[in-house]
């Protein structure tokens, strides 16, 4: 995720609304206690998610990949008064930490945090979803999309993180491609060629694919 000029990233963050106390705490504890802390959404992307969700004011959000709860809290702030965020993760080792952050946010009643395999849980969810954020194992992005697209409300938004994969999606002729990179190349092509959506790939942080169901 370091392919964007660090000085330019710092400038963007300096000209974005500041993180509040809770989000700063989540960032610090993630960096101190959790492996691969760079997986956290972080300041700039978190602000984007929060403002975008407030603009949408959705009734139901599905998040695939909770991690330490940063992005979920940002999105939950934009829910309708009686709205619900369903967030899925397979890592039960983070459960106590994440549930603690959700309680501190004051929105635990709006957040349905479920542990388990998302590929098994999603078929049991009725929908419709007004917004979906995919930020989990890259190899299954296409499968997640197939499971959710028919559960999206008309005009519903799908956001998928890491779709630029630190620039690895720019493949040179003859270059060997790893499985995760290939999965993201296939996913990006799937969205681009799906007549059910209109889409834009945003060069924010590590890339965010935005697709709106027509």
What residue segments make up the domains of the chain, in order of their start?
Answer: 6-213
Q: For residue 1, is pLDDT > 60?
A: no
pTM: 0.96
Closest to 45 in 3D by CA, of 33, 30, 27, 64: 27
Task: Give the model's pLDDT for residue 50.
Answer: 98
Q: For residue 2, is pLDDT > 70?
A: no
Contact 144, 134 (CB under 8 A): yes
Q: For residue 157, is pLDDT > 60?
A: yes
Give tens-digit pLDDT for 176-185: 999 999 999 9
The CA distance from 23 to 42, in Å, is 8
Work out the widest C-alpha separation in the chain, in whole angstroms: 53
Of the chain, the percentage scoring pLDDT greater than 90 comes to: 92
The CA distance from 101 to 94, in Å, is 11
Judged by average pLDDT, the poorest of 18-32, 78-92, 167-181 is 167-181
E strands present in the chain: 60-64, 84-89, 111-115, 129-134, 152-161, 197-202, 208-213
The pLDDT of 126-143, averaged and rounded, is: 97
Contacts 24+ apart (CB under 8 A), 11-16: 12/44, 13/43, 13/44, 16/43, 16/44, 16/47
Give tens-digit pLDDT for 7-62: 998 999 999 999 999 999 999 999 999 989 989 999 999 999 999 999 999 999 99
Task: Give the model's pLDDT for residue 180.
Answer: 97
The pLDDT of 128-149, averaged and rounded, is: 98
Query: 6-213: which CATH number, 3.40.50.720, 1.10.357.10, 3.20.20.80, 3.40.50.150?
Result: 3.40.50.150
Task: Give the model's pLDDT for residue 174.
Answer: 86
The CA distance from 183 to 48, in Å, is 25
Q: Per the omega criterion (within 30 degrees of 0), is the bond before 128 cis? A: yes
Task: Give the model's pLDDT for residue 53.
Answer: 98
Contact 72, 102 (CB under 8 A): yes
75 to 29, 108, 191: CA distances (angstroms) = 20, 13, 23
């Amino acid at each position: 995720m370091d392919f964007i000029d660090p000085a330019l990233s710092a400038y963007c963050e300096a000209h974005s609304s500041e993180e509040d106390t809770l989000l700063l705490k989540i960032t610090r504890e993630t960096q101190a206690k959790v492996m691969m802390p760079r997986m956290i959404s972080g300041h700039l992307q978190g602000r984007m998610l929060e403002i975008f969700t407030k603009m949408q004011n959705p009734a139901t959000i599905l998040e695939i990949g909770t991690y330490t709860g940063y992005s979920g809290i940002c999105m939950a702030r934009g829910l309708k008064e009686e709205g619900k965020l369903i967030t899925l993760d397979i890592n039960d080792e983070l459960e106590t930490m994440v549930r603690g952050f959700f309680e501190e946010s004051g929105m635990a009643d709006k957040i349905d945090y479920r542990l388990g395999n998302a590929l098994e849980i999603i078929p049991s969810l009725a929908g419709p979803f007004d917004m979906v954020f995919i930020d989990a194992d890259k190899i299954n992005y296409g499968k997640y999309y197939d499971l959710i697209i028919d559960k999206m409300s008309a005009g519903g938004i799908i956001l998928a993180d890491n779709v630029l994969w630190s620039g690895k999606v720019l493949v040179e002729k003859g270059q060997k491609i790893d499985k995760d990179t290939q999965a993201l190349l296939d996913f990006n092509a799937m969205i681009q060629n799906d007549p059910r959506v209109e889409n834009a790939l945003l060069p924010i942080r590590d890339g965010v694919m935005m697709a709106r169901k027509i």
